[in-house]
Structure 1
Amino acid sequence: MSGLFMDNDGNRDWKKIAYHARSAFAVLLSLAILLGGSWFVYDKASSAYSDWKTSEDYAAGAGVEDVQITIPEGASGSEIGGELVDKNVVKSRKAFLKAFNRNEKAQSIQAGTYKLRTQISSSQAVEMLLDPKSVVRNQVTIPESLRMKDQFALLNNKTKIPVAQFEAAAKNPQALGLPKYVESAEGFLFPQTYEIGQQPTAKSILTLMAKQYNTVAKDLNLEEGAEELDRDPVEIMTVASILEAEARAKDMPMVAGIIYNRLDNGERLELDSTSYYATDTPLGKPLPKGFKEQDSPYNTYRSYGLPPGPIGAPGATAIKAALNPVESDNKFWVTVNYETGETKFAETYDEHLKNVAEWENWCKTAKDKSGCPA
C-alpha cells in the first residue's frame, strides 16, 4: 500500500504534498486570524475595563436615572462630593472637588434638595447644582389679610403639620425672632411665598415668616415712621391690617388718613372689618345679628380707639400706606361698587349716607352679593 504522499510506484507524489501543504497553511492561517482577532478584542475590552475601574470620574453623558440629593446648610465642597458619591451621581470625591474648584461659581451652591442624574461627570454635577431648574421646590404661599388661625390651617393643609404645633410655636413671638414690642404673633407673620424645605417644622416655618416681617419693617423704617406719627409699631400694624381688609391698594393711603383723623378727634372707628374679627366671621360672609352690641375690644362700634392688635396679616403695601397717610378732611369712606373697587370719600355724615345709598343700590342688582346687606 502506498503512503499518503507516495504514488503507485512508490515514489513521492509532489502534487499531493503541495495540495495538502496548501490546505494545512489555509487552516493554520484561519486559526491564527481567529486567535489574533480574539486576543485583539480581549486586549481592547480588558484595557477599557481597566481604564473604567481606575478612572476617578464618569464620562460626560446623560446619566442613568434620576436621583434626589439634599445638601445641608453650610456643606463644604468635600461634603457635597461625599453625598454625590453615596448616591452614585459622581464616581469619586476627588474628581468632584477638582470640578468644584475649577468652577468659580461653585461656592454659591445653596443648601436644599436637588434633582440630579446618576453616573454623570463631576463637571456636569457642578453645573446641575448651579442650575435653578434642578432645585426641588417645596413652597407655600400665605395670602395677605389672613388671620393667624387661617394661616395655620393653610400651613397644615400644605405640610400636614398639626395646627397645635403652629399654635404652640406662636406662643412665644420672641423665640421666633419677632421684636420685643410684639406680644402676640397675630398680624406679624408676614404673608408671602416661602421656600420651606423638605422637612419643615412649625417653628422653622414661623421663624421664616417672622424674619421676613423684620426685613420688611426695616426696609420701610417702621419704628421710625411710627414715632413720626406719634404711634407705636403695633398701632401701625393694626391700622395696616384694617387697610388690608377694608381698602384697595390705590385707596389705602387715603383710608389710613381717615382712620387717623377719627382717632385724633376721639371718634369711634365703627368698622365692620374689626367686627368680623371679633365675631370670628369669615370676610364676605354676613355678620351675625347684634354684632354692633357685642362686648369686645375689637368691636369698634362700641369701643373707642384702635383694637388691641392686628386683625390679620397685612402686606408691605398696606404697611407703607399706614406709615404714609394722605392728609384730608375726610372722615368716611365706602366702596360703592365691589366689581370695580370704586370707593367714595366724604367729610360729613350726610355725604357719607348718600354714598352708602349708592352702594345699597348697586347691591340690589349685583350678581355676587358677598358683603352686601343680608
Structure 2
Amino acid sequence: MSRIIHIVVRTVCVFWGMALLCALLGLGAVIYFNAPPSLQPPSGSHEALTIEPEGKVILEVRNGESAASVGRRLLEAGIIRSHYFWDLLFYIDKRYIKAGTYQLTLPVSQLEIRAILVAGRQILKRVTIPEGVTLKKMARILANEGICDEAGFLAAAANREILNHYRILGDTMEGYLYPDTYLFSPGYPPELVAKAMADTFFKRLAEIQHDLPDLSPEELHKRVILASIVEREYRLDEEAPIMAGVFYNRLNIGMALQSCATVEYVITEIQGKPHPEVLYTRDTEIRDPYNTYIRPGLPPGPISAPGMVALNAVFNPLSSDYLYFRLIDPAVGRHYFSKTLDDHIKAGTLYVKGPSL
C-alpha cells in the first residue's frame, strides 16, 4: 500500500513539476516575444510606417486593415520580435484595432502597441481654419498640416453624395465648411474632414436660426452666399449687421451689390492673381458672373467661409436706409455708410479686406 502511495505522490509531483516547468517556459516565452527587439531598428520609411531618428514611430492603420497585416509590417520594420505572438494576442482577445494614425515611442512591447491600437489613441493635430478663407485655401491649410491631400479634400467637397446629404445646392461645399479650430489625425480621410466641418457649420447655424430645418435649401443657399460676402467685407463686428442690411436693401430694389469682395474673389480665385490692395475701375469691370459690380443679384455661389459674426448678421440684419458703404479707416477697419451715391463718392478710394491667408 505504501508503495502505491509513493508512486501516486511521485506521479503528482512529476505532474505538477512538469506543469510548473511548462508555465515557466510559457511565461518566459511571453516575456521574450512581448519584449521589443534587443536592437532598436534604424530610422526610415516603411509601408505606412515611419521610424524617426529619435525613436518615434508614426504608424498608419488603414481602413479595413487586419491586425495580422499590421503585425507583419511591424515585424518587417524591426519593431516586434514575432508576428506569431502578435497573432496569438488577437486570437485570444477578439477586439479590433481602429484605423488611424498613431505615434509609438521605441522601445515598446507588443502588449503596449496592441493596447494603443485597440483603444484608438491616435495622434491628433490642431488645425485652425480662419474665417473668410476660400475652399482652395482651406484645402491648402489642411494639406500643409498633413491632415489630408489637397486634391482629395477638394474632391470630397465636390462629392455630390455628400452635397445631397447636407442639401447643398452648389457644386461644392464652399461656404458650408465652418471656420474653426479642429483636431484631426494626420492622414484623416478627406470625406470625414469635410463632413466634420459641415456638421459644425450646421450646428453653429442652428444656434442662430432655430427654425433652420424649415428653411428651404434655396433660401439657405442665398443667405450663405450673402454671409460669405459680408465675411469678406466687414472689419468691425458691430458693422456686419449694417452691411447685411445694405446688401438686402440693394437686392430689394434690384441694385447691383457692388461688393469689392466679389471682385477680389474673381482676381485671386478665378484669375489666380495676387490679392489687390486697391481696386480700380478696370477691376470692377471684369467680365465674370462673380463680379457683382456688373451683375445684379447674388453671385453664383459663396466666396468664402463665413464665421459666426457674418452668419448672424445675415440672419439678423440691421434695418436702415443705407445703400452704400466705403472703407475710410484701413487701420481700424471702419466704414462710412451713406444713403446717396454722392456721399459715397466723397468717401474716397476703394479698399478691400486684406488677404485671408
TM, length-normalised to structure 1: 0.59
Contact 1:189 1:206 in 2 (8 A): no
Deviation at 1:310, TM superposition (A): 1.0
Deviation at 1:180, TM superposition (A): 3.6
Say yes or no: does 1:212 pair with 2:200.
Answer: no
Contact 1:263 1:305 in 2 (8 A): yes
Say yes or no: does 1:67 pair with 2:57.
Answer: yes
Indicate the SS of the match to 2:337.
strand
Structure-1 residue corresponding to 2:262: 274
Unaligned runs of 5+ in 2: 1-22, 41-54
For residues 326-337 of structure 1, what are the structure 2 equivalents within 5 Å? 326-337=318-329
Number of equivalences: 304
Say yes or no: does 1:234 pair with 2:224.
Answer: no
Q: Quick check: 270-279 or 78-87, which moved more?
A: 78-87
Contact 2:163 2:173 in 1 (8 A): no
Structure-1 residue corresponding to 2:317: 325
Contact 2:224 2:302 in 1 (8 A): yes
Q: Which residue among 241, 244, 249 is the counterpart of 1:256?
A: 244
Larger radius of gyration: 1
Deviation at 1:135, TM superposition (A): 4.1
Distance 2:195 2:254 in 1: 33
Say yes or no: does 1:146 pair with 2:153.
Answer: no
The CA deviation string for residues 94-121 of structure 1, in whole angstroms up to 9 with x for no partner, is: 9978xx99xxxx99x9642222245656
Distance 1:226 1:126, change over 3 A: closer
The CA deviation string for residues 264-323 of structure 1, in whole angstroms up to 9 with x for no partner, is: 233222121112223445444444652333333322222222112112222343223322
Deviation at 1:248, TM superposition (A): 2.4
* Larger relative contact order (CA 8 Å, sep ≥ 6): 2
Indicate the SS of the match to 1:241.
helix
Distance 1:278 1:293, change over 3 A: same
Contact 1:267 1:304 in 2 (8 A): yes
Give 1:182's aligned amino acid.
L
Give 2:311's aligned amino acid.
I
Give 1:257's aligned amino acid.
G
Indicate the SS of the match to 1:309.
coil
For residues 296-307 of structure 1, what are the structure 2 equivalents within 5 Å? 296-307=288-299
Contact 2:127 2:181 in 1 (8 A): yes
Distance 1:54 1:148 in 2: 52
Distance 1:71 1:317, change over 3 A: farther
Structure-2 residue corresponding to 1:112: 100
Distance 2:227 2:341 in 1: 24
Deviation at 1:246, TM superposition (A): 0.4
TM, length-normalised to structure 2: 0.62
Unaligned runs of 5+ in 1: 1-46, 364-368
Distance 1:257 1:322, change over 3 A: same
Distance 2:30 2:114 in 1: 22
Indicate the SS of the match to 1:220.
helix
Contact 1:177 1:207 in 2 (8 A): no
Q: Which residue among 245, 249, 265 is the counterpart of 2:253?
A: 265
Structure-1 residue corresponding to 2:282: 290
Distance 2:118 2:325 in 1: 51
Contact 1:84 1:90 in 2 (8 A): no
Distance 2:186 2:149 in 1: 16
Q: Quick check: 274-283 or 64-73, which moved more?
A: 64-73
Q: Quick check: 135-144 or 232-241, which moved more?
A: 135-144
For residues 1-374 of structure 1, what are the structure 2 equivalents within 5 Å? 52-55=28-31, 66-71=56-61, 87-88=79-80, 111-118=99-106, 120=108, 135-137=122-124, 141-154=128-141, 169-175=156-162, 179-185=166-172, 187-188=174-175, 190=177, 191-193=179-181, 197-199=185-187, 204-221=189-206, 224-225=211-212, 232-248=219-235, 250=237, 251-279=239-267, 280=271, 281-287=273-279, 289-354=281-346, 356-357=347-348
